[in-house]
Amino acid sequence: MTHPDPSWDLYRTFLAVLREGSLSGAARSLGLTQPTVGRHVDALEQAVGFPLFTRSQHGLAPTPAAGELRPYAEALASTTAALLRAASGQRGAVKGVVRVSASEIMGVEVLPPILAELRERHPGLTIELVLSNAVEDLLRRDADIAVRMVEPAQAALVARRLGSVTLGMHAHRRYLDRHGAPDSLDDLARHSVIGFDRETPAIRALLRRVPGIDRGRFALRADSDLAQLAAIRAGFGIGVCQVALARRDPDLVRVLPDGFELKLGTWLAMHENLRSTPRCRAVFDALAQGLEGHVER
């Protein structure tokens, strides 16, 4: 006897249990009852023919088989979300949902006024803004458009290089009044330096361009660029931020301009299948124009 193919609802519930770690957490996130979530898990396990979770005192632990299914369930979720975004638009009209991915700093400090002006021109648009320093996979449709600080490598993407963002070291005037300004990179040893916590491949690539910067010197370590910027603004110490952003605040002073400067390329990318979609094209063009102005400044 053959079983019918499992419905998407079962995979959606399976993914929610994976993410939440319990039936009750998945029920809350999906707006379902806990018994319904339990029945969905049981039905999916029966359909695939093997257990997906083991119960423990800490909740539900995924089996190795569940780990193998997870990327496919996530791909289904991304495709379903992309389908709904596509269905939200009308042919020939700049209307509907567009999902934009950007880093924390870009999403909080740079994009809001660009998106506000875009919304004034096209009130039928709805923007979903994903703040993440991870590179969103546009091929899986995790997002429709991505602002990236690394060059997109996938051939199926439409990518536009917007220029380079300059990074420099900055401190608040309060901090400099108390501690003075460093005279060299070596002089940073006597200062409170703000930096990263985990050394990612991207950070290692940047460090190769500026030798002498070491995690062990940091008085505050945070992987969130927003947290680092907030600490600089609070007068905690010296940290790295975009020069164009620092210029907005007269209390932020650039230090060691001749000793430390990094250029980050900035790209805008979307899947080539979306280039003729009016809502995505309008958002892409507006972001390109606004971000090019930011990069120039």
pLDDT for the residue numbered 93? 75
> Are 92 and 154 part of one and the same domain?
yes
Angle, CA of 163, 169 and 171, to the nearest 5°: 130
Residue 38 domain boundaries = 8-78
Render pLDDT for 224-268 as a digit per residue (tens, 0 to 9).
999 999 999 999 999 999 999 999 999 999 999 998 999 989 999
Angle subtended by helix axes 23-30 and 8-20, to nearest 10: 120
> Are 104 and 178 part of one and the same domain?
no
What six digits make up the tokens of 99? 């999902």
CATH classification of the domain holding 25: 1.10.10.10
pLDDT exceeds cutoff 80 at 92: no
> Are 279 and 257 part of one and the same domain?
no
> Are 114 and 228 part of one and the same domain?
no
| Rounded CA separation 31/26 (Å) | 8
> Are 138 and 101 part of one and the same domain?
yes
Average pLDDT, the chain: 87
> Are 272 and 284 part of one and the same domain?
yes
182 Cβ neighbours under 8 A, 6+ residues apart = 188, 190, 191, 238, 255, 256
The helix/strand/coil state of 127 is strand
Whole-prediction pTM: 0.70
Domain membership of residue 2 (yes or no) is no
> Are 184 and 253 part of one and the same domain?
yes
Number of domains forming the structure of the chain: 3
| Rounded CA separation 218/226 (Å) | 16
Domain membership of residue 28 (yes or no) is yes
> Are 153 and 281 part of one and the same domain?
yes
What are phi and psi for residue 281, nearest 5 degrees? Answer: -65, -40
Render pLDDT for 139-151 as a digit per residue (tens, 0 to 9).
667 888 999 888 8
> Are 62 and 90 part of one and the same domain?
no
Q: Which residues of 160-199 are buried (b: 16+ CB within 10 A; e: fewer)?
A: bebeebebbbbbbeebbeeeeebeebeebeebbbbbbeee
Domain membership of residue 1 (yes or no) is no
pLDDT exceeds cutoff 90 at 283: yes
> Are 191 and 232 part of one and the same domain?
yes
> Are 106 and 157 part of one and the same domain?
yes
> Are 25 and 53 part of one and the same domain?
yes
Higher per-residue confidence, 189 vs 210: 189
H or E element that contains 230: helix 225-233
CATH classification of the domain holding 189: 3.40.190.10
| Rounded CA separation 137/139 (Å) | 5
| Alpha-carbon distance values, 247 to 170, 228, 297 (Å) | 10, 17, 9
pLDDT for the residue numbered 1? 43
| Rounded CA separation 269/187 (Å) | 40
Name the percent of the chain lying above pLDDT 90. 48
What six digits make up the tokens of 103? 């880093």
